[in-house]
């Protein structure tokens, strides 16, 4: 009986600590003046991610992916997004994070609207 009690208690502790639950994987994208690093992001459908966008350039940049953000389930950090939830606006030296569940498989366009003329574009691929 004592062994069973210990096993149940250990299981409850593991659940309380998040052991065995799917932790969000970190995805870091840097905005450098006139490019995303990396320019292609690959995610797995239904998995949780913490998207961290760091502006390491000298200009303000946007991480705009309207179709992607509309399809994804935003689970945290929505306040870091624009009111229409289509993009992140990141000032030089600033970092913003959004937690999300990757949407249905597909290819989603990524742009910096202020610099897309200079080929600051990318792709988010969900498998």
- What's the whole-model pTM score? 0.81
Give the CATH number, domain containing residue 34: 2.60.40.420
116 domain residue, yes or no: yes
The domain in which residue 74 lies consists of: 22-126
Do 112 and 67 form a contact (C-beta atoms < 8 A)? no
Ramachandran category for residue 106: left, alpha or beta (phi over 0 → left; psi -120 to 50 → alpha): left
Do 111 and 64 form a contact (C-beta atoms < 8 A)? yes
pLDDT digits (tens, 9 = 90+) for 52-73: 999 999 999 999 999 999 999 9
Query: What letter would DSSP give residue 116?
Result: G
Give the pLDDT band (50/70/90) at residue 16: very low
The predicted structure's pLDDT at residue 127: 97
50 domain residue, yes or no: yes
Q: Mean pLDDT across the stretch 85-92?
A: 97
94 domain residue, yes or no: yes
pLDDT of residue 20 exceeding 60: no
DSSP conformation letters of 75-105: EE-GGGB-TTSSEEEE-TT-EEEEEEE--SS
95 domain residue, yes or no: yes
Do 127 and 43 form a contact (C-beta atoms < 8 A)? yes
What is the DSSP pairing of strand 40-43 with strand 35-37?
unpaired
């Amino acid at each position: 009986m004592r062994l069973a009690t210990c096993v149940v208690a250990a299981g409850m502790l593991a659940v309380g600590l998040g052991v065995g639950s799917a932790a969000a994987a970190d995805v870091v994208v840097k905005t450098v003046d006139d490019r995303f690093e990396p320019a292609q992001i690959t995610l797995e459908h239904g998995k949780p991610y913490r998207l961290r966008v760091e502006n390491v350039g000298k200009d303000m940049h946007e991480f705009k992916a309207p179709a992607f953000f509309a399809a994804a389930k935003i689970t945290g950090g929505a306040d870091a997004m624009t009111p229409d939830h289509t993009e992140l606006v990141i000032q030089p030296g600033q970092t913003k994070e959004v937690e999300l569940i990757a949407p249905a498989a597909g290819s989603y366009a990524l742009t910096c609207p202020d610099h897309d003329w200079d080929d600051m574009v990318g792709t988010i691929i969900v498998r």
